[in-house]
Amino acid sequence: MKVIHLSAECYPVAKVGGLGDVAGALPKYLNQLGVEAIVVMPFYERKFVQENEFDTVFQATTTMGDRPFFFEILKERTKKLGFDLYILKIPGLLDRTEVYGYADDDERFVAFQLAFLDWLLWSGERADVIHCHDHQTGLVPFLLYFSSRYTALSNIRTVFTIHNGQYHGTFDWQKFNYLPDVDSWKTGLLDWDGGINPLSAAVRCADVFTTVSPSYLNELSVNSNGLEHLFEMEKGRGIGIINGIDTDVWNPETDPMLAVNYTAETVSTEKIKNKKLLCEQFGFSPDKPLFTFIGRLVGEKGADLLPEIFKLMLQDQENPVSILVLGSGEKGTEHELSVLKEAFPGQYNAYIGYNEELAHRIYAGADFILMPSRVEPCGLNQLYALRYGTIPVVNSTGGLKDTVIDISENGGYGIRCHVATVHEIFNGARRAVQLFKNTDALQLLYPKAMALDFSWDRSAKEYIHLYHNLKPIS
């Protein structure tokens, strides 16, 4: 069986969030389990592409509406990532540094999908399943089954995975002419609320859709930025499969980004060394519990709550803490989190920006990671944190609900809050401080957290089961 993963991101080539991590890991584990899995992604002008060797395997010119464009497919030469990586280059559209955020993102990703399908059509490249990820690839199932241009490919089965249901990639019907000839009886499948909505089209047209945690599948019916009704109707066709983590990349024993490596056996003496280095760099005392937040500074992640939560934590004289933020996103939140530095020097610091290496060092050096998310499709941060012996303090939603068990319960290893409000999360942080004061309990918790199995093996097997049971929808 051959599966093509189609994704806008793939770590380490280009990553903005969890989608990149998944596309960079799941195919590797599928290959290890005997399923041929490759990745096709857009070309970005980034380090990985500049530093590795690629062969041009295909070139052609096609059209998007009345706009002709040239594209080429480049294949990474050495299978360095554990799978065949193909990047699709379109001069003028897919040859920039950033993944998202351009005024012509609609055109960039529609062209990506058309060129991908044309490559399959014209090159004879074989596939049993196309596994599409998020809205940037959401038109593929519709085009495959309802465009006469791709009839020759319509026996290929499709899976669509939702990593984030808040973003739909909606564009105006005026751009309908970008698409090739499609069955006019089926165009309604593209529509949601008067726009072309690639996410909803994929949910309706793919053979099966999945979410990256079981709880998130249910939550989409109550919170999906306008698609609640769709998910209420389609829920029965969905499957929730929790993400794994790439334990080759995220391994405190071998992680080259850490100053001091450690295992579950050595965590009690070695993790503190990472903490000390981090505290030195950011001006903290290593004796206090170190809390962190890593991630996109957006409402979904509850980032707007952080300044108030932090003020309460930092003013709590009985429970002194240090706090380190790593993130970027909404400008207002970035600003609020930056100015806090002046109010609480030596207790609080923030790195506004993206820094992969620092993220690894923080997972290793922090005691607790705060995740006050309002929406969390799966959440990888809590899984990385646990693997590095860092205890998550989370709002119990989506994947956080599925992966974090509260310490008050049997077998628990984290702290769960029941709603994303300033006071509830502050109370969660206070519980964490009490835990920190109980050195014996904490020492027992470190190895327990590190031994939890969130590897891809289990989840990859669930995807394989899914691929084998795909049947065309009637």
Instruction: List contacts with ligand ADP (CB under 6 A).
Output: 17-19, 21, 164, 294-296, 326-328, 354-356, 359, 378-381
Tokens representing 401 are 């609900």
Query: With respect to ligand ADP, which residue has the nearer C-beta, 141 or 327?
Result: 327
| DSSP assignment string, 338-373 | HHHHHHSTTTEEEEES--HHHHHHHHHH-SEEEE--
Using alpha carbons only, give the angle 187, 193, 196 rounded to the nearest 5 degrees. Answer: 45
Minimum distance, C-beta of residue 66 to ligand ADP, in the bound complex (Å)? 36
Cis peptide before 12 (omega within 30 of 0): yes
CA distance 374 to 161: 20
Minimum distance, C-beta of residue 18 to ligand ADP, in the bound complex (Å)? 2
Query: With respect to ligand ADP, which residue has the nearer C-beta, 147 or 381?
Result: 381
The H or E element that residue 118 is part of is: helix 105-123
Q: Please identify the residue of the shown chain whose CB is closest to the bound ligand ADP.
A: 18
Minimum distance, C-beta of residue 245 to ligand ADP, in the bound complex (Å)? 9
Query: With respect to ligand ADP, which residue has the nearer C-beta, 164 or 197?
Result: 164
Minimum distance, C-beta of residue 358 to ligand ADP, in the bound complex (Å)? 7
Minimum distance, C-beta of residue 464 to ligand ADP, in the bound complex (Å)? 22
What's the sign of the alpha-carbon dihedral 139, 212, 126, 152? negative
Over its C-alpha atoms, the chain yields an Rg (Å, rounded) of: 23
Query: With respect to ligand ADP, which residue has the nearer C-beta, 46 or 296?
Result: 296
Query: With respect to ligand ADP, which residue has the nearer C-beta, 107 or 377?
Result: 377
Contacts of 190 (CB under 8 A, 6+ apart): 139, 142, 176, 196, 197, 201
Query: With respect to ligand ADP, which residue has the nearer C-beta, 18 or 240?
Result: 18
The H or E element that residue 60 is part of is: strand 54-64
Query: With respect to ligand ADP, which residue has the nearer C-beta, 196 or 227?
Result: 227
Minimum distance, C-beta of residue 186 to ligand ADP, in the bound complex (Å)? 32
3-state class (DSSP) for residue 128: coil
Minimum distance, C-beta of residue 37 to ligand ADP, in the bound complex (Å)? 20
- 234 exposure class (CB count in 10 Å sphere: 0-12, 13-18, 19+): middle
Closest to 296 in 3D by CA, of 220, 373, 223: 373
